[in-house]
Amino acid sequence: MLDTPARIYYKYEGASPAGSHKLNTAIPQAYYNKQAGIKRLATETGAGQWGTALALAANFFGLKCTVYMVKVSYQQKPYRRSLMQVFGAEVYASPTDKTEAGRAVLAKDPDSPGSLGIAISEAVEDAVKHPDTSYALGSVLNHVVLHQTIIGLEAMKQLEKAGHYPDTVIACSGGGSNFCGIALPFVRDKIREGKRTRIVAVEPTACPSLTKGKFTYDFGDEAHLTPRMMMYTLGSDFVPPGIHAGGLRYHGASPIESQLLHDGLIEAKAYGQLAVFEAAVMFARAEGIVPAPESAHAIRAAIDEAMAAREAGEKRTILFNLSGHGFLDLGAYDAYLAGELQDSSLDDAALAEILAKLS
Ligand SMILES: Cc1ncc(COP(=O)(O)O)c(C=O)c1O
């Protein structure tokens, strides 16, 4: 389809029962909480993939699970909610009136579409107020990133069997867990063995924390209940527009990923959702897999790299992570095919205001 001399490999995480890479960390987190005598897990979810994975993992170990789902995604993806409920979780559209954090947001904006930062505040508050409950996070933190490195380690072994090593590694980035998962083993080779692999994180122009944010200490949530982390951020009160890649609507990024970007070991780029859905549909038609809108950001970048290889006549090897399937995102595909989707990006004035608040 691309008529490119580049080889394109992808690691497919959507074959997991939960539909994405998120089960790689949901299972160990549920296991360790069970060992510690915890009875219930509270969490947030954007697109619903993390909530689905944690609901399933909690169910495997006989734990209860409460999910605060970002309201705009709750409305856009009703079947994600159904799936979490099938796996035994209770699911609320965040901001809720069940927590102080949620009530404070609703008092300011009763129509708030929610954000991951707000939903995290609600889930953390729920856990703090109930001693039998732990909070579980599906991205950003070091232990999550560590669990996800199984993606890159496996990909490396699989490529070794094929006799290849990638010159470019690509993944989408919300909080950074699937990106770090595929990238960190290759970063290790860059540092230890002097490999010159290009490693690219891809985010939406609507929520450009890596490409336009500031590298500073910030909170992981809206109500400032988490510790502060050194990361690229747009500010913990940033509420991104309701794009369909709900899992990428996070104001910050993993501290490990942020440090690597700051040190120039990885790169970041951003795309609008129209270019992303165009790539998603091309991929579906070529490969027969409907990708999650989040994962389609990586596909867009991989296609662009392959086209550049065609222009340059280079036989490159590109690896990207296909972090999840989009079978429960068909509403978004409907909107794209009907021409109803719009691009949105942070304008200069809004960005200047954000950066001024952060300095
Ligand atoms: C399929 C998929 N990919 C990517 C992400 C983004 O998360 P992360 O950056 O932690 O991989 C999500 C989050 O919900 C997701 O569902």
Does one domain contain both 297 and 267? yes
Cα(245) to ligand 1 centroid in Å equals: 9
Cβ–ligand 1 distance for 25 under 6 Å, the answer no
Does one domain contain both 296 and 163? yes
Pocket test of ligand 1: the residue of 24, 70, 144, 172 to mutate, having most ligand atoms within 8 Å of its CB, is 172
Total count of domains within the chain: 2
**Domain end (from 92, 108, 137):** 137
Nearest CA to ligand 1 atom 15: 247
Cβ–ligand 1 distance for 178 under 6 Å, the answer yes
Does one domain contain both 108 and 153? no
Nearest CA to ligand 1 atom 14: 247
Does one domain contain both 152 and 106? no
Interval 15-70: pLDDT, tens:
999 999 999 999 999 999 999 999 999 999 988 999 999 999 999 999 999 999 99
Does one domain contain both 200 and 295? yes
Nearest CA to ligand 1 atom 16: 49
Cβ–ligand 1 distance for 254 under 6 Å, the answer no
**Number of residues that this document lists for the chain:** 359
Provide the mean pLDDT of the chain: 96
**Domain end (from 81, 106, 137):** 137
Does one domain contain both 97 and 217? no
Does one domain contain both 214 and 96? no
Does one domain contain both 154 and 132? no
Predicted pLDDT at 265: 98
How do the pLDDT tens digits run along the chain, 359 residues long? 999 999 999 999 999 999 999 999 999 999 999 999 999 999 999 889 999 999 999 999 999 999 999 999 999 889 999 999 999 999 999 999 999 999 999 999 999 999 999 999 999 999 999 999 999 999 999 999 999 999 999 999 999 999 999 999 999 999 999 999 999 999 999 999 999 999 999 999 999 999 999 999 999 998 899 999 999 999 998 988 887 888 899 999 999 999 999 999 999 999 999 999 999 999 999 999 999 999 999 999 999 999 999 999 999 999 999 999 999 999 999 999 999 999 988 888 999 999 899 97
Pocket test of ligand 1: the residue of 56, 323, 325, 327 to mutate, having most ligand atoms within 8 Å of its CB, is 323
Cβ–ligand 1 distance for 328 under 6 Å, the answer no
Pocket test of ligand 1: the residue of 43, 56, 67, 294 to mutate, having most ligand atoms within 8 Å of its CB, is 294
Does residue 117 form part of some domain?
yes
Q: Which atom of ligand 1 is closest in space to residue 19's alpha carbon?
A: 1
Does one domain contain both 181 and 83? no
Cβ–ligand 1 distance for 171 under 6 Å, the answer no
Does residue 327 form part of some domain?
yes
Cβ–ligand 1 distance for 324 under 6 Å, the answer yes
CATH number at residue 71: 3.40.50.1100
Does residue 256 form part of some domain?
yes
Does one domain contain both 117 and 235? no
Does residue 2 form part of some domain?
no
Global pTM? 0.96
Does residue 208 form part of some domain?
yes
Does residue 60 form part of some domain?
yes
Q: Which domain holds residue 173?
A: 7-16+143-358
Does residue 1 form part of some domain?
no
Does one domain contain both 322 and 262? yes
Does one domain contain both 195 and 125? no
Does residue 148 form part of some domain?
yes
Nearest CA to ligand 1 atom 1: 324
**Domain end (from 137, 171, 202):** 137
